[in-house]
Amino acid sequence: MPEDISGPALAALDSLSGADTAWVMVSTALVLLMTLPGIGLFYGGMVRRFNALNTMASVMAIAALVSVLWFAIAYSLAFTPGGELGGFIGGLSRAGFAGLGYFGPDGQVAVSHLAPRLPESVFALFQLSFAVITCALVVGALVERMKFGALLGFAGLWLLLVYAPIAHWVWEPGGWLAQLGALDFAGGAVVHINAGAAALVCAYALGPRQGYGREPFLPFNLGLTMAGTGLLWVGWFGFNGGSALAADGRAGLAMVVTHIAAAAGALAWMLAEYAARRRATLLGLCSGVVAGLVAITPAAGFVGPRAALLIGVAAGFACYWGATGLKRLLRADDSLDVFGVHGVGGLVGALLTGALADPAISGQQGSLLTQLIACVAVLGYSLVMTTVVLFIVSRFAGLRVGADAERQGLDAALHNERLGG
Amino acid sequence: MSGSSELFAIAAHLHVQLRRKTGRVIDTEWLATNAEYARAIVRFTRERAAAEGHADLLPWADKLEAAIVAMGAAPRKTLLDVAAEALRAAPGPAPSGEQPHKYVGGLR
């Protein structure tokens, strides 16, 4: 058994676990469903009618681009040891689609040191599905006004310069936040705080949409948003349950706490909305579900059901404020509230993980201070480097479509297509 | 081409395009002489172009809008228009029962 390896290596086929491998393969498919079509529907339903197709096309194109770049280089930067700079970035030993080998006649297969009981191909694909959804989440802040080519340029650079290093810091055992003892089971910081911070920078850099704050921007179809929410909720079982990297009791508990937090988040958001506006809305319920799911993400393998209930309730209230009161304070047209839901929810979840982690579950003790350091580091790095990435892209392409194209709608102006109807 | 013939040419082209793409039949003579009607057709053309993806209509809407200036006619408001504007400006409940500022400045 290659349990003590410190980097990717070849292992005997019979050292793998069939059950673990099967579960992570299923989880990978579930997490990809969260993006394709989950995020596409979730976001596509919230934008105006004449931008829905562009929003879906953005999610689809980002998924394709990130997939190629992941195996070309990003996976290696995120999940291999990095030599002298190993605390901050991985090496290139898995760059260029290398190292995912399967050698049947020799009875050997490549495995990652992070998951030695799975083929490395399965582990790398599972992690790819996280990179895809993180990049796709940022789309919610820049819809209805960004050039399509600029968006793809941004997504590619952001994957390499922001996502891959942060994933390395937190998840690769040599990463400096992992060494510090930061707990992030499935990506509260790597995925959600990171995407939320990037979204905020994008919203400021692009500026508000024409008519923002003066005209009502009617959502295209909240039924699509509800369908997307359902896919996210179910897919999150793979996101959190799969992050155990094993078909075991911890994965089962992760699924239970995920479900409880989602439900608690929905109820808390609904209560907050009812208290403020005397209405319980479908979009509010969907948003509360996502808020609870986001907040339980870093905690899923470290907390029990009661703590999950508390995390879900806290996230429902906090993210309602994030998408309303905080949004007004920040004065950014973060169009679909990526920071308000994912940024705030990620921060709530990461900090509460430090307070509520139960050593009886994982053997790991949470620390509020360590979690705070991790949150500040990820938030700060993402804010700064996203600004740098946007600056680079703007030098080559310009970020924003022309006023006429924005008025006309990006479906017709950029794609010469319409969604139907 | 004189301003008047250019207007008629634009009107004729839009007449054909709008009938073919949207089913709307417009009055070309009235379009070439009445700025208010011409503005309404510019708005209609842009709305349909955005809603139905007829990007090729937009340059004609732009041409018509530019040509309206040449007509030199200040828009005249009917009494009905003035009354409608006053009503729209007056505060009151949104017709669907939604909060008045729903979806303004935020979705949630």
**What does the pLDDT look like over A151-171, one tens digit per residue?**
999 999 999 999 999 999 999
pLDDT at A99: 80
Q: Does A403 touch chain B (CB under 8 A)?
A: no
In the beta sheet, which residues pair with residue B104?
Answer: A216
Inform me whether the pLDDT recorded for B1 exceeds 60: no
Inform me whether the pLDDT recorded for B3 exceeds 80: no
Nearest residue, CB atoms, A408 vs list B58, B106, B107: B58
pLDDT at A326: 97
pLDDT at A84: 87
Report residue B72's pLDDT band, with 50, 70 and 90 as the boundaries: low
Cβ proximity of A293 and A262 under 8 Å: yes
Report residue B73's pLDDT band, with 50, 70 and 90 as the boundaries: low
> Which residues in chain A land under pLDDT 50?
1
**How far B9 CA sits from the closest chain A CA (Å)?**
24
Backbone angles phi, psi at A416, to 5 degrees: 50, 45
Amino acid at A317: F
Contacts of A290 in chain B (CB under 8 A): none
Residues 47-106 of B with CB under 8 A from A: 49-55, 58, 99, 101-106
Cβ proximity of A184 and A192 under 8 Å: no
pLDDT at A227: 98
Q: Does A320 touch chain B (CB under 8 A)?
A: yes
pLDDT at A260: 98
Backbone angles phi, psi at A161, to 5 degrees: -95, -20
Q: Does A208 touch chain B (CB under 8 A)?
A: no
Nearest residue, CB atoms, A416 vs list B46, B53, B102: B53
> Residue A240 has what DSSP assignment?
I
Nearest residue, CB atoms, B106 vs list A279, A327, A407: A327
- Top-confidence residue, B13 or A120: A120
**How far A413 CA sits from the closest chain B CA (Å)?**
7
Inform me whether the pLDDT recorded for B86 exceeds 90: no
**Is B103's CB within 8 Å of A408's CB?**
no
3-state secondary structure of A365: coil
* Sign for the pseudo-dihedral over CA of A240, A246, A251, A252: positive
In angstroms, the CA A326 to CA A330 distance is 6
User: Is the preceding omega at residue B100 within 30 degrees of 0, hence cis?
Assistant: no
Cβ proximity of A277 and A166 under 8 Å: no
pLDDT at A6: 83
Q: Does A331 touch chain B (CB under 8 A)?
A: no
**Is B46's CB within 8 Å of A287's CB?**
no
Angle at A47 between CA A65 and CA A205, to 5 degrees: 65
**Is A212's CB within 8 Å of B46's CB?**
no
Residue A29: exposure state from Cβ atoms within 10 A (0-12, 13-18, ≥19): middle
Distant-in-sequence, close-in-space partners of A376: CB < 8 Å, separation ≥ 6: none
Place of tokens 């842009």: B46
Q: What is the interface size between A and B, counted as CB pairs within 8 Å? A: 61
**Is B107's CB within 8 Å of A49's CB?**
no
Cβ proximity of B94 and B102 under 8 Å: yes
% of chain A with per-residue pLDDT over 70: 99
pLDDT digits 0-9 by tens, B62-71: 888 888 876 7
**Is B50's CB within 8 Å of A215's CB?**
no
Contacts of A320 in chain B (CB under 8 A): 108
Report residue B98's pLDDT band, with 50, 70 and 90 as the boundaries: low
Q: Does B11 touch chain A (CB under 8 A)?
A: no
- pTM for the full predicted model: 0.82
Distant-in-sequence, close-in-space partners of A16: CB < 8 Å, separation ≥ 6: A109, A111, A117, A118, A119
Place of tokens 């075991």: A248
**How far B85 CA sits from the closest chain A CA (Å)?**
17
pLDDT at B33: 79
**How far B105 CA sits from the closest chain A CA (Å)?**
4
**Is A408's CB within 8 Å of B55's CB?**
yes
Nearest residue, CB atoms, A324 vs list B52, B54, B108: B108
pLDDT digits 0-9 by tens, A340-351: 999 999 999 999
Q: Does B107 touch chain A (CB under 8 A)?
A: yes
**Is A49's CB within 8 Å of B99's CB?**
no
pLDDT at B28: 83
Q: Does A144 touch chain B (CB under 8 A)?
A: no
Q: From residue A212, how far is each of A89, A222, A288, B104, B106 by CA, in Å?
A: 40, 20, 24, 7, 9
Nearest residue, CB atoms, A283 vs list B58, B101, B108: B108
Strands, E assignment, A98-144: 102-103, 108-111
In angstroms, the CA A303 to CA A220 distance is 38
Q: Which two tokens stand for residue B97?
A: 């029962």
Inform me whether the pLDDT recorded for B89 exceeds 80: no
**Is B53's CB within 8 Å of A216's CB?**
no
pLDDT at A2: 52
DSSP for A313-357, written as a single string:
HHHHHHHHHHHTHHHHHHT---TT-HIIIIIHHHHHHHHHHHHH-
